[in-house]
């Protein structure tokens, strides 16, 4: 099994154990290359299929494997780096060495089982369109924050943040950037523009102790848009169908589909809403459908007939 899928499955089990007070561990031997079996001391048994919720890209897969191998050599350990939507992996030197340095620096600050952010420089552009109005047209990673930016500006502006693929979760840092944009705007004449820099913040997590060592890189290739609803529905249907076939021989185990997404933040996922529009018969084939993305785990469907779920509901 690919290492990013293996790490994703282990992180899902760690989340499940913490949430429901269980002790699931993946068995040393797999039922098949596609299916991982996990058992716990209470007699629970899971059969897990892990699948990408993005289009395959052979060149991108090769590149992330090469970079993961270099990260292995630079800092041994069990880490999972999440590439945000549109994020580019370095293609050549000296960009590759600088990228590795920044990733390793972020990793050195993480304790076992914790997550953080890798800081990568991004160039942004602020331009003033006219004196009248109070509006900011924002493209790129800051687009979800256009109202906050607009409230601080006098006049009409354009903000190009396409180089920013994942805005930091640090609230204070966000406020400082909004203040910087407002300050820069005060010095602009109509038709003028100014470049400024901010850090792209890629999610990074260190796996809990006991997990298999090795670096893995997850997410999606830059040419795939995880926010494309039509693509998500098509891929989701294909993953459900393939996983149902792989799990058909399973007996006495909870059928589990773990989807690996390429979202910037888990709260921005589109798989859950898409799943609700599917034929229930396709969904109820599984006892658990969960999404892992950007260092987070989210259950999309979970059968209440599972013993540990039913017990938790009555606590």
| 144-203 pLDDT per residue, tens | 999 999 999 999 999 999 999 999 999 999 999 999 999 999 999 999 999 999 999 999
Same domain, 132 and 181: yes
Q: Residue 310 above 70 pLDDT?
A: no
Whether 48 shows a pLDDT value over 90: the answer reads yes
Residues 106 and 224 in one domain: yes
- Compare 59 and 134 and report the one with higher pLDDT: 59
Beta bridge partners of 79: 206, 215
Do 26 and 74 share a domain, yes or no?
yes
314 pLDDT above the threshold of 50? no
Q: Taking a C-beta distance cutoff of 8 angstroms, is the pair 132, 156 a contact?
A: yes
Q: Are residues 105 and 127 in the same domain?
A: no
- Total tally of structural domains belonging to the chain: 2
Q: What is the DSSP letter of 268?
A: G
Region 31-59: mean pLDDT is 89
pLDDT, tens only, 5-28? 999 999 999 999 999 999 999 875
Are 251 and 308 within one domain?
yes
> Given 146, 177, 200, which residue is the final one in a domain?
200
> Same domain for 7 and 58?
yes
| Per-residue model confidence as pLDDT tens digits over 83-115 | 999 999 999 999 999 999 999 999 999 999 999
Say how many Å lie between the first and final Cα of the chain, rounded.
37
**pTM for this entry:** 0.92
Region of 140 please: left (phi>0), alpha (psi -120 to 50) or beta.
Answer: left
Count CB-CB contacts under 10 A for residue 33: 8
Which band of pLDDT confidence, cut at 50, 70 and 90, is reported for residue 33? low
Closest CA to 10 of 28, 29, 26: 26
Is the per-residue pLDDT at 315 higher than 70? no
Are residues 277 and 134 part of one domain? Answer: no
Q: Taking the alpha carbons of 128, 133, 138, 139 in that order, is the dihedral positive or negative?
A: negative
195 and 212 part of one domain: no
20 and 161 share a domain?
A: no
At residue 279 the predicted structure's pLDDT band, cuts being 50, 70 and 90, is: confident
Phi, psi angles (nearest 5°) of residue 272: -60, -55
What is the spatial distance between Cα 99 and Cα 126, in angstroms, rounded to a whole number? Answer: 26
Tokens at residue 144, please?
């979800």
Who has greater pLDDT, 27 or 82? 82
* Domain boundary, last residue among 200, 219, 248: 200
Residue 308: the pLDDT is: 66
Q: 123 in helix, strand or coil? A: strand
- Let me know whether 228 and 108 are in one domain: yes
Give the tokens for residue 159.
């903000």
What domain range includes position 105? 3-112+208-313
Same domain, yes or no, for 194 and 131? yes
Q: For position 134, what pLDDT does the model report? A: 84
Contact 163, 139 (CB under 8 A): no
Which of 28, 11, 18, 32 has the alpha carbon at shortest distance from 82? 11
Last residue of a domain, one of 147, 175, 200: 200
Q: What is the mean pLDDT of the chain?
A: 92
Write down the pLDDT at residue 231. 94
Q: What are phi and psi of 275, to 5 degrees?
A: -65, -35
- C-alpha distances (whole Å) from 78 to each of 9, 19, 45, 248, 261 are 13, 22, 25, 32, 20
Q: Do 43 and 185 belong to one domain? A: no
> Could you tell me which residues are beta bridge partners of residue 121?
199
Mean predicted confidence (pLDDT) in 275-291: 92
């Amino acid at each position: 099994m690919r290492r990013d899928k293996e790490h994703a499955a282990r992180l899902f089990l760690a989340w499940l154990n913490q949430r429901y007070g269980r002790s699931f561990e993946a068995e040393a031997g797999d039922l098949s290359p596609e299916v991982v079996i996990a058992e716990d001391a209470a007699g629970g048994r899971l059969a897990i299929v892990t699948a990408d919720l993005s289009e395959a890209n052979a060149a991108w897969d090769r590149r992330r494997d090469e970079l993961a191998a270099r990260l292995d050599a630079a800092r041994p350990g069990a880490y999972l780096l999440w590439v945000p939507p549109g994020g580019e992996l370095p293609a050549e030197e000296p960009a590759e060495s600088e990228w590795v340095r920044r990733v390793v620096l972020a990793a050195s600050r993480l304790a076992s089982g914790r997550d953080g952010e890798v800081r990568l420089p991004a160039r942004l552009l602020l331009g003033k369109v006219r004196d009248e109005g109070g509006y900011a047209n924002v493209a790129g990673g800051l687009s979800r924050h256009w109202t906050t930016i607009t409230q601080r500006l006098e006049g009409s502006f354009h903000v190009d943040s396409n180089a920013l693929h994942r805005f930091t979760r640090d609230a204070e840092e966000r406020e400082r950037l909004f203040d910087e944009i407002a300050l820069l705007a005060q010095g602009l004449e109509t038709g003028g523009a100014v470049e400024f820099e901010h850090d792209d913040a890629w999610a990074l997590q260190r796996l809990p102790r006991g997990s298999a060592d090795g670096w893995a890189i997850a997410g999606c290739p830059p040419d795939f848009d995880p926010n494309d609803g039509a693509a998500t529905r098509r891929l989701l249907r294909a993953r459900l169908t393939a996983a149902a076939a792989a799990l058909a021989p399973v007996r006495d185990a909870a059928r589990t589909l773990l989807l690996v997404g390429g979202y910037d933040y888990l709260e921005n996922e589109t798989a859950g809403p898409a799943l609700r529009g599917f034929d229930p018969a396709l969904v109820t084939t599984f006892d658990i459908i969960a999404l892992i993305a950007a260092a987070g785990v989210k259950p999309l469907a979970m059968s209440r007939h599972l013993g540990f779920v039913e017990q938790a509901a009555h606590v």
